[in-house]
Amino acid sequence: MEQVKTAGRDWLLQCAINQATAVQLWQDDPAAPLTMATGRSFDAVVLSDRLGLETIDLISKHTLPFTPAMLDVRARKIALLLPPRSRRVFTTMLRNLRAPIENVHYLSEGGYLVIPGPRPEADSRHQWVTPPVCSPAESKLRTAAVALAVCQAAQNLDERSTPHSTLYRPTRILTRSAAPRRPATPCVTDHEWPEAAK
């Protein structure tokens, strides 16, 4: 369970559709999730929990540009936040690397995402995997790094022949120095993504 520091919380408040409502909500209950519109302050890439955790592990292991990420425990989905208007860079990268774009869902203008509260409880449905630490700078490099990590993560899972593996078999993109860590997630059921917080 990760918590958002002050600078990250201030950025989340700026992203809220109604900042006054968000301030009041999180003063009353800092664990409360909040639905936010994508495409304004951030876009989001939504992945399965397995692919998402593998992607985050690669981003951390190879010291790629930091990306906030959250987990919907019930839906078994992970969303990585990208700068707004990043769709073209992201999808072009995946297309050039011949990745299975149909397994990746991109949310931009017109989309909505349930964001965890700044201080989620251990049993909260919506959790931070890597919470925002400040207002993330708009960077094509960060978007490209996430796309690269998603492609490599898909290859890693495919090589292990897991039940959720893809048919993607490109040339290795990132060089691994050690076997990837496999963080445990309390995933118990499957629901549509995104949906209103319960």
Residue ranges covered by each domain of the chain = 6-159
Strand partners, 36: 113
Strand partners, 57: none
Phi, psi at 169, each rounded to 5°: -135, 70
What ranges in 79-139 are assigned the alpha helix state H?
87-96
Q: How far apart are CA 183 and CA 152, in angstroms?
A: 17
3-class state of residue 181 by DSSP:
coil
Q: What is the pLDDT of residues 171-192, one digit of tens each?
A: 455 554 444 444 433 333 333 3
Task: Output the pTM of the full model.
Answer: 0.78
- pLDDT of 35 reads 96
Residues 6+ apart with CB under 8 A from 27: none
- What b/e sequence results for 11-27 when a residue is b if at least 16 CB atoms lie within 10 Å of its CB, and e otherwise? bbeebbeeeeebeebbe
Tokens of 32: 């409360």
Mean pLDDT (the chain) is: 82
Task: Please name the residue that has the structure tokens 């898909």.
Answer: 154
Look up residue 49 and give its amino acid: D
Q: What is the pLDDT of residues 66-119, one digit of tens each?
A: 899 999 999 999 999 999 999 999 999 888 888 665 678 999 999 999 999 999
Q: How far apart are CA 21 and CA 145, in angstroms?
A: 34
